[in-house]
Amino acid sequence: MGSRTESLTRRAGADDSGRRLDKVLRRMFPGLGLSDLYGRLRKRTIRVNGKAADPAYRLIEGDIVSYPSELETGEKDTGRAADPKVAQQDLGELLVLESENLLFLNKPRGLLSHGRGGLDEIVESAMRERVESSLSFRPGPLHRLDRNTSGLIVFPRTAEGGRVFSRLLRDRQVRKRYMALLDGSVESPEVWEDILVRDVASKRSFSNLDENSGPSLLGRRAITRIVPLARGSGLTLAMLEIQTGLTHQIRAQASIHGNPLAGDSKYGGSTRVDGFVLHALAIDFPEPPFNDVPTRLIAELRPWALLRLNAAFGPNIIEKAIVLACES
C-alpha cells in the first residue's frame, strides 16, 4: 500500500472573509491548474472545517482549510523564496506613511517594484506575520514604478486597502505627480496627448505615428500634463502629472515631444549624464481613502537625484520647485 499523503491546515483570516473558496485557493496555489483544483475539491482532498466544500463557498474568518502537503511543497519549489539580502533591508528607511490599510513607500532608484529581489519581497518579509495569517492576501504593489524611477509607491496592508486604492485608480481619483529632468527648454505648461504602442521585443513604447512602431495602428491613449519648474544649462526641471498610466509613459512622451529625460539613452536622452532623474513626488486624493490617510502624500527626493538637481540648479531653486510641483 502507498503511504498516505500528509494533510496540512490553515485558518482563514479577516482578509479572507467573504471571498469565494476557489478564488482563495488560486491565490494560495497559483501553480495549480483549474481542473486540478476543482478535481481535488470534488474528491475532498481539499476540505473546509473537515467537510467537502463547494468552490463557490464564501469563507468565514476562522474556517479551517485542509489540503495535501504536496501542494505547499510545490509552491516552495517555484523559486519565489525570499532573497536573504532582501530580508535584511529595513522597510522603515523607505516608509512615508503606514496606515491601517495602506503602506506608502519611497522607492529608491535601481530597485524593482515587483520580482526577485524587488520591493514586494522587502514588504512581504517585513509583513510576514500578517501574510501568514491570511490565505489569500499578498502585499503586492498597487501600481508600478520602473526600476530606475524613484519615489512614492503604494502597497496594501489589508485586502480592503488594496480594493479601495485599486478602485480609486480605476475611477481616476488618484493624482500622481512626478519630477523629471528633461533635455532642452520647456517654456510653458503643456498637455501631451499621444497614442502609444508597446514594442515587447525592444521593451520600448512609441507613438503610433512613429515609423519604428511598425504599421499597426493599435495603441493606447496617453495623457500627461507638464509644468516647467526651472530652466538652465540646456535642461528643464519639470512637474509631470499622468492622467493615464502606461508603461514608460513619461519617458516615451518626453521623447516624442522633443524633451527626452536627460540621461535616458533608451529614449534619445543626452548621454552627458549617467542615468535619468524621474521621481514620483506626490499622490493626492479628493477625499481621504481612510481616516488615517491624508489627502496628500509626498516622497522626498532621493539623495542621488537631489545631488544632481542641486548641482544643476542650486538647492534654493530645488526647494522652491518642490513646493511649486506639489501645488501645480
All residues at 6 or more sequence positions from 290 whose CB lies less than 8 Å from its CB, including other chains: 99, 100, 101, 102, 161, 164
106 in the same domain as 90: yes
Residue 16 belongs to some domain of the structure: yes
Q: What is the pTM of this model?
A: 0.79
Which residue type does 119 have? Answer: L
- 224 and 286 in a common domain: yes
CA 197, 199, 305, 322: dihedral to nearest 10 degrees? 10
Residue 109 pLDDT: 92
Does 53 lie in the same domain as 34? yes
Position 227 scores a pLDDT of 97
**One domain for residues 117 and 45:** no
Q: Is residue 1 part of a domain?
A: no
129 plus 72 within the same structural domain: no
The torsion angles phi and psi of 181, rounded to 5 degrees, stand at -100, 115
State whether 251 and 281 are in the same domain.
yes
Verify that 28 and 111 share a domain, yes or no. no
- In the predicted model, is pLDDT for residue 322 greater than 90? yes
Residue 76 has pLDDT above 80, yes or no: no
The pLDDT value recorded for residue 125 is 81
C-alpha to C-alpha distance for 260 and 137, rounded to whole angstroms:
39
Residues 163 and 208 in one domain: no
Q: What is the pLDDT of residue 217?
A: 54
CATH code (residue 239): 3.30.2350.10
For 161-187, the pLDDT digits (tens) are 999 999 999 999 999 999 999 999 999
| Judgement on whether residues 197 and 255 belong to the same structural domain of the protein | yes
Amino acid at position 204, single letter: R
Q: Which domain holds residue 132?
A: 84-170
Taking a C-beta distance cutoff of 8 angstroms, is the pair 256, 207 a contact? Answer: yes
What's the rounded Cα separation, in Å, for the pair 69 and 314?
60
pLDDT in tens, 80-119: 344 444 444 578 889 999 999 999 999 999 998 887 778 9
Whether 69 shows a pLDDT value over 80: the answer reads yes
Residues 274 and 193 grouped into a single domain: yes
Looking at the fold, whether 321 and 180 belong to one and the same domain comes out as yes
